[in-house]
């Protein structure tokens, strides 16, 4: 088993730009995570619409954000952070100053427009995190970013739901989005570097897309999609199982334990002396998800969820790490945009897939359905890597991510 050490964290956290990037990322992502649940509550409780209507609104906003990722990332590569973030902030200010106080259909239109011009938070943060540390500390830095994402994902929606029970959902939604606008302005002021030392500057000549948007990159993105299929589907399945057990009051606790497992796993993965292929991690995540279908009590489900959670953040971290190394630095913004869109797509697919399985076979089937998807994609990815290695081809996955890293951190 790879050795675990705190030395990588000490080196990474000694970087002031990294600390700044992590804080900025958490501030901007929090309102994004909170808005999803707020839109559902606002649509159902304040606008008096059905859950189907709330789901359609969430789906439309999700699709808009997924579409925006690659082209906003490409603009980052071409024009830099400030010239991309400022229009996003202005559009968000215009849309969300009005959207919480209008009817359903206008809210849907404004949410889609805002989604298309959303601040490319994940692309910016991950580029800033990568640029802030030497290449051999990249995985550790990305792991820290994944942990920050987990914390924001756990805390922000919980605070939003609590606030919505105390005050008008319209004003809570408005306040949340204005916090996002303020965080975007702070990011514009700080303007963290998106390129590391020795890398091509923003706006430099770009590598043609056909030179990097190929099978190795797409395979890693597909692994990212499968990961969020498993996670989003497990989220729905946990709710369904807890309802069947008559323990709806403990749903939040089980989800928190699951998220805690992911946080711990992310920290452990960042402390390893070597990387692990995203396909192996995805396969492990899928295998660890299957036993959750056998849980017969809330505490049993929480324990099994913690074990599966240990592989959540590491799998996503590995896909980010691998994707960032496959592509040239001058196109990293667009590449991270594509990666984010694949993650978003997986999240959008996982919930309905689990829902279909739950409706047809019962709550436990949700875990089985999404775990099978993860296992299938992991198997295909590992088979492809093995086939390319056997054929004698030099591939990113086979040569860079399955061996211990050398002094420069490139040979994995």
Q: Each residue of 181-231: pLDDT tens digit? A: 999 999 899 888 887 666 656 666 667 777 888 888 899 999 999 999 998
Task: Please spell the DSSP secondary structure of 348-385, one letter per residue.
Answer: HHHHHHHHHHHHHH-TTHHHHHHHHHHHHHHHHHHHHH
389 pLDDT above the threshold of 70: no
374 pLDDT above the threshold of 90: yes
CA separation for the pair 23, 1 (Å, rounded): 32
Out of 51-55, 174-178, 198-202, 367-371, which region has the weakest mean confidence (pLDDT)?
198-202
pLDDT at residue 15, as a whole number:
83
pLDDT at residue 98, as a whole number:
93
| Mean pLDDT of the 60-88 span | 85
Domain topology for 16-195: Growth Hormone; Chain: A; (1.20.1250)
pLDDT at residue 397, as a whole number:
42
**Confidence band (pLDDT; 50, 70, 90) for 331?**
confident
Structure tokens at 104: 């359903």
**Confidence band (pLDDT; 50, 70, 90) for 353?**
confident
Cα–Cα distance list, 332 to 20, 128, 132, 199, 325 (Å): 20, 11, 14, 11, 9
Maximum average pLDDT range among 166-180, 279-293, 374-388: 279-293
Task: Of 84, 174, 83, 78, give the one whose Cα is nearest residue 121.
Answer: 84
411 pLDDT above the threshold of 50: no
Please, what's the b/e burial string for 37-47 (b: 16 or more CB within 10 A of its CB; e: otherwise)? bbbbbbbeeeb
Structure tokens at 251: 């749903």
Are 343 and 224 contacting, i.e. CB atoms less than 8 angstroms apart?
yes
111 pLDDT above the threshold of 50: yes
The chain-wide mean pLDDT, for the chain, equals 82
Torsion sign (Cα): 281, 228, 410, 274: negative
407 pLDDT above the threshold of 50: no
What is the pTM for the complete model shown?
Answer: 0.78
pLDDT at residue 410, as a whole number:
35
Roughly what angle, to the nearest 10 degrees, separates helices 365-390 and 215-244? 160
Please, what's the b/e burial string for 96-118 (b: 16 or more CB within 10 A of its CB; e: otherwise)? beebbeeebeebbebbbbbbbbb
408 pLDDT above the threshold of 50: no
pLDDT at residue 178, as a whole number:
93
pLDDT at residue 169, as a whole number:
85
pLDDT at residue 412, as a whole number:
34
CATH of domain 210-412: 1.20.1250.20
Equal fold, 16-195 vs 210-412: yes
Question: Where do we find the tokens 């009817």?
Answer: 103
Cα–Cα distance list, 22 to 80, 128, 174, 305 (Å): 19, 9, 25, 26
Question: Where do we find the tokens 């729905």?
Answer: 236
pLDDT at residue 92, as a whole number:
92
**Confidence band (pLDDT; 50, 70, 90) for 131?**
confident
Q: 224-282, pLDDT tens digit by residue? A: 999 999 988 888 888 888 888 888 778 778 888 888 898 899 888 888 777 888 999 99
Structure tokens at 384: 């492809």
pLDDT at residue 165, as a whole number:
80
Are 164 and 38 contacting, i.e. CB atoms less than 8 angstroms apart?
yes
| Mean pLDDT of the 83-107 span | 91
pLDDT at residue 404, as a whole number:
34
CA separation for the pair 395, 387 (Å, rounded): 10
CA separation for the pair 321, 274 (Å, rounded): 12
| Domain assignments of the chain as residue spans, ordered by start | 16-195, 210-412
**Confidence band (pLDDT; 50, 70, 90) for 409?**
very low
pLDDT at residue 97, as a whole number:
93
CA separation for the pair 319, 317 (Å, rounded): 5
CA separation for the pair 114, 327 (Å, rounded): 29
Question: Where do we find the tokens 């804080």?
Answer: 23
Are 340 and 316 contacting, i.e. CB atoms less than 8 angstroms apart?
no
């Amino acid at each position: 088993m790879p050795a675990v050490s705190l030395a990588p964290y000490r080196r990474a956290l000694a970087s002031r730009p990294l600390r700044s990037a992590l804080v900025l990322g958490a501030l901007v992502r929090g309102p994004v995570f909170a808005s999803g649940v707020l839109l559902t509550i606002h649509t159902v409780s304040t606008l008096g619409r059905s859950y189907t209507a709330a789901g359609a609104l969430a789906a439309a906003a999700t699709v808009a954000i997924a579409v925006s990722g690659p082209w906003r990332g490409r603009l980052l590569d071409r024009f830099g952070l400030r010239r991309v973030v400022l229009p996003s902030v202005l559009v968000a200010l215009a849309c969300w100053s009005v959207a919480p106080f209008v009817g359903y259909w206008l809210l849907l239109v404004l949410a889609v427009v805002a989604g298309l011009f959303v601040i490319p938070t994940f692309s910016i943060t991950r580029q800033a995190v990568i640029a802030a540390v030497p290449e051999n500390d990249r995985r550790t830095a990305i792991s820290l970013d994944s942990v920050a994402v987990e914390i924001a994902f756990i805390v922000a929606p919980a605070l939003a739901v609590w606030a919505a029970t105390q005050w008008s959902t319209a004003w809570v939604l408005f306040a949340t989005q204005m916090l996002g606008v303020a965080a975007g302005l702070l990011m514009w002021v700080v303007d963290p570097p998106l390129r590391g030392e020795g890398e091509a500057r923003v706006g430099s000549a770009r590598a043609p897309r056909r030179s990097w948007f190929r099978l190795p990159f797409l395979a890693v993105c597909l692994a990212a999609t499968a990961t969020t299929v498993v996670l989003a589907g497990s989220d729905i399945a946990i709710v369904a199982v807890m309802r069947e057990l008559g323990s709806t009051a403990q749903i939040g606790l089980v989800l928190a334990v699951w998220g805690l497992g992911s946080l711990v796993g992310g920290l452990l993965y960042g402390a390893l002396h070597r990387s692990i292929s995203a396909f192996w991690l995805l396969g492990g995540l899928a295998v660890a998800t299957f036993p959750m279908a056998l849980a017969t009590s809330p505490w049993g489900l929480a324990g099994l969820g913690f074990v599966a959670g240990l592989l959540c953040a590491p799998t996503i971290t590995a896909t980010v790490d691998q994707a960032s190394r496959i592509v040239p630095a001058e196109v990293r913004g667009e590449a991270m945009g594509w990666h984010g869109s694949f993650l978003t797509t997986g999240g959008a697919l996982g919930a309905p897939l689990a829902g279909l399985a739950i409706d047809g076979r019962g709550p436990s089937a949700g875990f089985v359905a999404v775990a099978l998807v993860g296992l299938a994609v992991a198997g295909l990815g590992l088979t492809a890597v093995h086939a390319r290695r056997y054929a004698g081809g030099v591939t990113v996955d086979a040569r860079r991510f399955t061996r211990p890293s050398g002094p420069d951190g490139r040979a994995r």
